Structure 1
């Protein structure tokens, strides 16, 4: 059993259903699967923290119409809150205090103690950055506001309350260029740091090649090798988030393969709650997934002890359990280290590359001369915005502003119009697949199997080329005939 000082304080309830209300003789149920259940360090339920989780379940998240995200194996956004208030729960447990008994001095003591903690891997550096500590402090303040309201003391956390905070204002500029005034509560024990900026650049072709080379040289089992290659292909050719890739099902691959113009179903995340979208995808990628299903997944699932096959595409080799999105992050990290890539290289950078490349093609197709022309098309053309949102899974035109800038920066000084982008794109995909097949031949793949697979590859290429024959229409409909791929 883990030590009380280190054991995780919450677990996720996968199939939770809660009472909603009763009307017209019918009981309405609130689906709450994925909600964290929090305990004290000794394992006893922490009732106040769990009531707070229930309150977060109904708090508007992205999209405003649904509650906060509970997706993934760690409870989504609500799970992040559970993690951030865990130090406060440990502190009150150690001090034998109820949350309502906290005061300003005790809250300061908590923050100071967290600031003094050292990294277990390197005792010379702090366990947390000031940015992380600020996030923990603000989450704890939010939780303690809830505690105050529960006990009928709305001023428990306030300028003159037991825990003294001040309201501060700051300005943020949206991706669309609008300036918005926002407020937050600040405690004097916390250090205000600059807003964290995400500086990930699009993944380059050189790094993709290095990651793929690492898959074949890292010395793993055949199952893991097939899974990693497929994972990279899905990242590269769908532009999906890691959670969306982890949620792909075997049926999604099979259904797409049965279509004349394959469309892959993705469960769209980060838009207030799960929804679905269909994106065009190449048969080469689908065939790679089918190969993993038949040559690796099927063997693993014969020994699956979890009952009925859960249907998720990527599974753990030994247990057959679905691969968590966090494992996808670890996989990319392991490949990056083996490949000797010293700069940042993560799964989300594939998404940046995919969307940027898509916008480069759209700019060429529609002959946009300026960024404003592109933005106006996103705002004023309902069909255009619908198509772009389908491809990217983004929520609004403002959320793709960064990609517009990246695409125009790449096209700065570019005047050549690509007359048949589809043909170039398709041949590039299959050239890469043929190179990988040749590598397998050099490593011992039997010649007859190599010949069969090469002929099948050529057949699929011809089908994709035939499906994408240009009709002269430069609309986004042409792009749906196959998935997008343009050199970075």
Structure 2
């Protein structure tokens, strides 16, 4: 099990001639133990190996750890096993079978065949490390003399960015199940998104049980602050399309810079520590207005709890950064409260953002009548590739094909080409803003003067976005 995460671990390296010791960028490392909380030596050494020799990101290392814990638990629970080196083909097969046969309380399988296969592949890599770590002979390998006998498979893949192909070799084990087809995760539906947005901007508690006027005012202020914070969280998911770790790491100083430039700095996830891990995405004025309304809430909370940091989104309970794990759980709780079918996660808004971006591209490309036309005329141009990669933070251009397929699925049956298509999201956001101002008037949270001020601010932001869109159409 992952009993803890060791924060900001610093490793050292020596480079150059003459050799010079240098501290590497701090990284958070999982600390793995057996169920009785005894540290697992080999697993923690593997975490060190992944961080130092393979130079993987903290999030990727944690993914490895979450898969290895299954094997650690298996070793602990088996009466005839006490260490990894005692594993054989039979016991490793039993481990995989147990993963496959695990069921939820309702009787459904806990894991798909693909999930079991991925856990098995990661554990094989770990056991190969254990073999080298303890200098074991005939423990794991391709020869029949090994206690765990692996198989070798040859595959042909296309090289990214070209029509050339190459052969790759993968190492597996006969016990691993065949992976199923990769499921395309669809964007959040418009109906579900609207249901969640309506819930966020109207969430309220009944304060009739609070008799003290001062306590009631304080409770209403806390509810107001939470609503403002949640609206800012939602707006960032819908309008930026970042991964949850990227949204979590947005800084207050990034927001201030975006107000001046119209471009928000994003710290890109899924990059190695030594790679360029920043990108800038365009943000519209209405998004900045939502954040501006939340900033006063942030300032009060941080002052109340004497919190000092630069991250934009915070917990209102202590003023500390709103963690990415809390963010995921929080968004999931919205779906559960509203009885939305299926998993609700921040990544669904990322898919929706880039699918809508792709729809806009199709609608503004007058000579495109089919998906193949779009691939040929748009996807294969360097300018478009760089633009979408900068916007989304994708490393591989082939990853964008999913959004193309979803866009055409969404546009099936469309015949009209829209001008200024990029305004669709902004118009919907403006409608939501007006609805929210109306609700606040009805709840007597705004005076007439305050309502007019908020409406003027929203209209000013909307006007800026219209002007920017028209300028882009003229340039196009």
Q: When the two structures are superposed, what TM-score results if normalisation uses the length of structure 2?
A: 0.83
Partner Cα distance (2:458, 2:302) in 1: 27
Q: 1:50 aligns with which of 35, 38, 44?
A: 44
Change beyond 3 A, Cα 1:179–1:347: farther
For residues 310 and 356 of structure 2, the distance between their equivalents in structure 1, rounded to whole angstroms, comes to 32
Distance 1:422 1:93 in 2: 56
1:80 Cα shift? 1.6
Q: Which residue of 1 aligns with 2:438?
A: 438
Candidates 95, 100, 107, aligned match of 2:85: 100
Helix, strand or coil at the partner of 2:471: coil
Shift of 1:33: 0.6
Displacement of 1:102 in angstroms is: 2.9
- Residue matched to 1:157: 140
Aligned to 1:34: 28
Q: Which residue of 1 aligns with 2:14?
A: 21
How far the C-alpha of 1:436 sits from its partner, in A, is 1.3
Contact persistence 2:160–2:398 (CA under 8 A) = yes
Aligned-residue offset at 1:171? 6.4
Aligned to 2:315: 316
Question: Residues 297-446 of structure 1: matches in 2 within 5 Å?
Answer: 297-304=298-305, 309-369=308-368, 370-377=370-377, 381-421=381-421, 426-446=426-446
Please report the TM-score for the alignment, with normalisation by the length of structure 1.
Answer: 0.81
From the superposition, tell whether residues 182 and 466 of structure 1 become closer, same or farther in structure 2 (CA, over 3 Å): same
The residue number in structure 2 matching 1:230 is 232
> Partners of 1:405 and 1:178 in 2: how far apart?
23
Equivalent residue, structure 1, for 2:187: 202
Q: Would the aligned equivalents of 1:265 and 1:277 in 2 still touch at CA under 8 Å? A: yes
**Structure 2 unmatched runs, 5+:** 206-222
User: Which SS does the other structure have where 2:364 is aligned?
Assistant: helix
Q: Is structure 2 residue 124 aligned with structure 1 residue 141?
A: yes
Q: Is the Cα–Cα contact under 8 Å of residues 52 and 146 in structure 1 kept in the other structure? A: yes
The alpha-carbon deviation at position 40 of structure 1 amounts to 3.8
Does 38-47 or 350-359 show the bigger shift? 38-47
Structure 1 partner of 2:216:
none
Aligned residues: 449
For the aligned residue pairs, the C-alpha RMSD in angstroms reads: 3.1
1:459 aligns to what?
Answer: 460
CA contact (8 A) 2:113 2:180 kept: no
Structure 1 stretch displaced more, 323-332 or 375-384: 375-384
Partner deviation per Cα, 1:109-130 (whole Å, 9 max, x = no partner) = 44455556554xx285565554
Match of 1:484 in 2: none
Higher relative CO (Cα under 8 Å, sequence separation at least 6) belongs to 1
Shift of 1:338: 2.4
